[in-house]
Amino acid sequence: MNMAERDAPSYFFGEDNVDDNPSIKFHCGKFVSAVPMLFFIVWAITICVFGAPDVKGLILGVMIGLVIAMFFVRGSWSTYCDQIFSGMSSKIGVVAIGCWLWAGIFAQILRVGGLVDGLVWLGHFVGMTGGFFAGTTFLLAALFASAVGTGYGTTVAFCTLMYPTGIILGADPVLLFGAILSGSAFGDNLAPVSDTTIVSATTQDTDVPGVVKSRFKYAIIAAIPAIALYIIFGSAGETALSTTIDANLISSGDPKGLILLIPFVIVITLAMSGRHIITSITWGILSALALILVFKLTAGSLILNIDKDHHAMTGALIDGIDGYVDMAVLILLIMAANHIMKIGGAMDAIKAFTLRIVKQSIRRAEIAIWAFVACLNFFITVNTAAEIAAAPFVSAIGKIFKIHPYRRANFLDAISSALGYIFPWSGGVLIGYATILELSKEGMPWITVISPTEVWPYVFHGWILVFVMLIAAITGFGRKLEK
């Protein structure tokens, strides 16, 4: 076992804690097991198009899909229901939820402490507005995600802090949201401590440092045009700063809030030194609370308060949790639908079809790997889960054609990290949408809430990275074979 395997948590090496080889048979064949995910995808697109991308509505969509598939089960429905619960207990989903909660609390504390006001003041003072702010947001999100190793956590933090700041400073809301998602995808792909990075390396029997070094060229090739596009097209135009509300918001900027950049630096430093993401963010939370207390940046009641009139607790600590409860339920149900698809045989059927078209061409083999990983990411909305599902196929095909483990890992991770922040039903997009929606309800009614179906074409880094990997498969760029 190499260093990466020793250091990685146990959930990196198994999809969940269910039986090793459970199976369920369906009337009408294996592809019926994909019905829950297919129905959810169609449902998600439909309600978004009709202007109701509500997380509770998405939860209902997964539940309906799971019920529809139940009527096609051959044998005991009880076994099918037990497997739903087994899928919901997936460690991948639980880890994602934990990262959201810690990152959500951290971001909310920084927001009520005045970091948004500080960033508004700084951006206006140095003239970093419009497209330049969108481009800078992409770079900072990429840096933060590369350090802390959680793209979802980065999406939460930057949608809470940089999104409202950017709107005030004239950035286009859709492009700004896309820049945040792009930066999160960049870090998810490149961070040595990212779950996707570790999964891609360990499942292909290779080391994390070598994998990260080998994939840097693909990430940079995609990042350079992405930042240029955000700078060029990221401005909202004259209307963004012409209204009275925007002028008032700009004048409310306060440099005092910039002191809360210190906790941000603490989190990045600890994460880069190898500390666990929960440990790093916990120290960020504690240092932020200490700075708020010492410099009297905000009232204590905005951090935590008991509302006797409504018999409830309020404040940033509660808001950081409250915004993600529904998303947590949604992800657990999605993991259940993914599990049903796996044990029902749909994934094996897709794999078998892909193998038939590979034949003896290494180029065709790499294109098949690209297509298979992309296909699973279309169905499985949590990119780590999609990676784990695709990893055996990528390893098997790669070993037949002696494709180097680094290259196999790069195909597996780059495509998964990118598409995990593109599709409207993907976890990265939904968690960003939930964060922005929550802000609009918490004293920021002027925030533009972007629908998941609006932003997907503008995740420039993600799209370019997927295209770069396809070109690499076709042309052989960066191809390396085992000796």
* Helix/strand/coil (H/E/C) assignment for every residue in the chain: CCHHHHHCCHHHHCCCCCCCCCCCEECCCHHHHHHHHHHHHHHHHHHHHCCCCCHHHHHHHHHHHHHHHHCCEECCHHHHHHHHHHHHCCHHHHHHHHHHHHHHHHHHHHHHHCHHHHHHHHHHHHCCCHHHHHHHHHHHHHHHHHHHCCHHHHHHHHHHHHHHHHHHCCECHHHHHHHHHHHHHHHHHHCCCCHHHHHHHHHCCCCHHHHHHHHHHHHHHHHHHHHHHHHHHCECCHHHHCCHHHHHHHHCCCHHHHHHHHHHHHHHHHHHCCCCHHHHHHHHHHHHHHHHHHHCCCCHHHCCEEECCCCEEECHHHHHHHCCHHHHHHHHHHHHHHHHHHHCCHHHHHHHHHHHHHCCCHHHHHHHHHHHHHHHHHHCCCHHHHHHHHHHHHHHHHHHCCECHHHHHHHHHHHHHHHCCCCCCCHHHHHHHHHHHHHHHCCCCCCCCCCHHHHHHHCHHHHHHHHHHHHHHHHCCCCCECC
Query: pTM (2 decimals)?
Result: 0.76
The pLDDT profile of the chain, 483 residues, written as one tens digit per residue, is 333 333 343 333 334 444 455 688 999 888 899 899 889 888 877 886 776 667 788 889 999 999 999 999 998 899 999 999 998 987 767 777 887 788 778 888 888 888 878 887 887 778 788 899 999 999 988 988 887 777 888 898 889 888 988 888 889 999 999 999 999 999 899 887 677 887 888 778 888 788 888 999 999 999 999 999 999 999 876 544 444 445 555 555 678 888 988 988 888 788 777 787 788 889 999 999 999 999 998 888 889 999 888 888 988 888 878 766 887 888 788 889 888 988 998 878 877 777 777 777 889 889 999 998 998 888 777 787 778 778 878 887 888 889 999 999 999 999 999 998 998 888 889 889 988 988 888 777 878 888 888 999 999 999 999 999 999 999 999 888 887
pLDDT score of 11? 34
For residues 116 and 118, what is the distance between their CA atoms, to the nearest angstrom?
Answer: 5
For residues 316 and 302, what is the distance between their CA atoms, to the nearest angstrom?
Answer: 6
pLDDT score of 21? 57
How many Cα atoms occupy the beta-carbon half-sphere of 385 within 13 Å?
A: 30
173, with CB counted inside 10 A (0-12, 13-18, 19+), is buried
Contact criterion met (CB below 8 Å) for 145 and 187: yes
pLDDT score of 70? 95
Token output for 15: 């999809």
For residues 98 and 91, what is the distance between their CA atoms, to the nearest angstrom?
Answer: 10
pLDDT score of 15? 41
pLDDT score of 126? 80
pLDDT score of 397? 85
